[in-house]
Structure 1
Amino acid sequence: MKTVIHRANERGFANHGWLQANHSFSFANYFDKDKIQFGALRVLNDDVISPNMGFGTHPHDNMEIITIPLKGVLKHRDNMGDAWIPVVPGEVQVMSAGTGVQHSEINGSSNEHLSLFQIWIIPNKRNVTPRYDQKTFDAEGRKNKLQTLVSSIDENHEESLKIHQNAIISRIDLDKGKTLNYHLKSKNHGVYVMNIFGNHTINGNSLDTRDAIGVFDTDSFDITANEDTGLLFIEVPMA
């Protein structure tokens, strides 16, 4: 088993006033030659956005974009529809940019900061028809068990959102003292584990809030929660 550890305080950071952005991988003005991507995972941004602020209309193409609000309310609008769509904690949003899409993302609250993860995954199909979807996931569904949020559009997994890549995004909330044995889908896959909160141990490595570890070249591995812990798993092809 091989691992790569990214400590929370070693991430790229950008203070734009209205946006406090932590970058797990090279993004915008942050560049680290050792942190370009993890397999097909290209971006994992941990953003805090001020009330009434956000990203104005901008383009994307040929990228699978997943947004997970953690606190506050996100509002999304794109050129596939005119309405502002709210996305709140407990929901997940996916957008296949494909041949090209224009969208805006803002903090929908006038008094509360918005905290979210934004994930970009390189697709296995280019120039697809753009699409958007979102879904609510019950927190009880990840209590000491894996809850699949996103999977491949080519698979029949009705409970999850779909993207154009052989990837799996899942969450779990582990109680203190609990252990999870995570099985990778393929020997050609790796999984990037982001610690949302708490402390856990993988392969002898202790990881705190917002620390992350990439695990690959293995069939499975154990995770032990040293305290109540929330984890995000992003499993992707490594080649």
Structure 2
Amino acid sequence: MTIAVIADIVASRSAQDRDAVQRAIESATVTVEEVRPRATQRWWPTVADEFQAVYETLEDALVATLYLQLALPEGVACRFGLGVGEIGPVESSLTDAIQDGPGWWAARNAIEHAEELEQGKLPGTRSWLVVHDTEPPERRARAAVVNAYLLLRDQVVADMSPRARRAMYDTWRGRQQKEIAADEGITQAAVSQAINKPLVRALRVGAKDLERAFR
């Protein structure tokens, strides 16, 4: 299975420092990939405010997009379109980096739908999955389950405080609670409380289960 992922920057046109936003996102993609190197094609900026990556499994794409959301600094956000389908190179005399195919078409449809939901009654929406019609029926049927998870996941992240996001992300990176507490200027107990609230804990447990799926 191939998972093509497109990310774009939320409200990029209104960013006060567009260069700083770009640097923050690029840094986050590098760090997430260093902690859990799963992308078959690492994140790369394409044009305007978009980035792309490719994963071999849906579980890997779900984990990566979760922790990318958590890794971004306050005030910076991305939305993600996940597309399941074949992708391949396009012959070009100018570059060897062109790809196309149903996976990318599905990812484009997915990110557009995520934006529609975000601008409607689900402002916390940041992600959506589309499985292209050329994929087997069992894969297409799985999309509804994954999107139900994504809607809930993204809303939990949206409702987390910036400090809780940082604490969950740093915990995933393997940092000790006392280190996180020192950086945040709070007690270790406060860090523990932030990452063990029921919804946040459920998010952490779910992410661990996804990570274990294809070890």
- Tell me whether the two structures share a fold, i.e. TM-score over 0.5: no
TM, length-normalised to structure 1: 0.30
Hey, which of these two has a bigger chunk of strand by percent? 1
Between structures 1 and 2, the one with greater helix share:
2
